[in-house]
Amino acid sequence: HPHAGGHFFTKQALPELMTWFDAQQREPLPRTISLVRDATHLTPFSWVRIDMTDQIAAFTENLIDSRDEFITGGVYAKLHAQVTAPNKIVVSTSRIRRYTLFLNQDLVDFSKPIIVETNGRISFEEMVEPRIETLLKEVRYRSDTHTLFPVKLTIDVTSPDIPNEK
């Protein structure tokens, strides 16, 4: 359904959809994540979260009546993140001002510096320290003991015409 963010399925499509879901297996820590979000869905997804965006589509309970230019124009926040090498994460964004990466020892080696490249620029290159407080807060928030994250990196996305500052 074009105004429901892709979350509408006809009754006739449900059996085929359920068969497809049954054949899938959850990958708790994918090395690549792609998100397309509206302003009302900025919660964490796996090891990434979009924190701040430019003005984008915002769905309400009044989906059918809400046909502003951002919804009809498909103006959404987009983020693609990939662990491309040991301790290097490459992120590309569209309409995003700030995002957060949640890291653990299965994604990176905490004994070496972490490099994050955002839209072709180095946005973070430092050692990180796992924190028990971060891990406990994330477990409580997510209610998922299979993906524990002791490190949280928040990255501000700089404009292409402004030099990146650490």
pLDDT 10s digits, 26-62:
888 899 999 988 776 678 889 999 998 887 667 665 5
Instruction: Output the pTM of the full model.
Output: 0.77
| Burial bucket for residue 6 (CB in 10 Å: 0-12, 13-18, 19+) | exposed
Residue 14 has what DSSP assignment?
H
Q: What is the rounded average pLDDT of the residues 4-13? A: 64
C-alpha dist (Å) from residue 166 to 50, 122, 123, 124, 127? 19, 9, 7, 7, 13
Tell whether the model's pLDDT for residue 74 goes beyond 80: no
pLDDT per residue as tens digits for the range 140-154: 888 777 789 999 999
Tell whether the model's pLDDT for residue 15 goes beyond 80: yes
Between 12 and 119, the more confident residue is 119
pLDDT attached to residue 8: 60
Count of Cβ atoms closer than 10 Å to residue 2 Cβ: 10
3-state secondary structure of 83: strand
Count of Cβ atoms closer than 10 Å to residue 31 Cβ: 13
pLDDT per residue as tens digits for the range 107-130: 999 999 999 999 999 999 999 999
pLDDT attached to residue 108: 97
**Distance (Å, whole) CA 155 – CA 166:** 10
pLDDT attached to residue 3: 46
Residue 96 has what DSSP assignment?
E
- Highest-pLDDT range among 2-11, 51-60, 96-105: 96-105
- How much of the chain, in percent, has pLDDT values that exceed 90? 47
pLDDT attached to residue 144: 77
Beta-bridged to residue 125, according to DSSP, are 115
C-alpha dist (Å) from residue 59 to 6, 95, 112? 12, 17, 41
Q: What is the rounded average pLDDT of the residues 51-77? A: 68
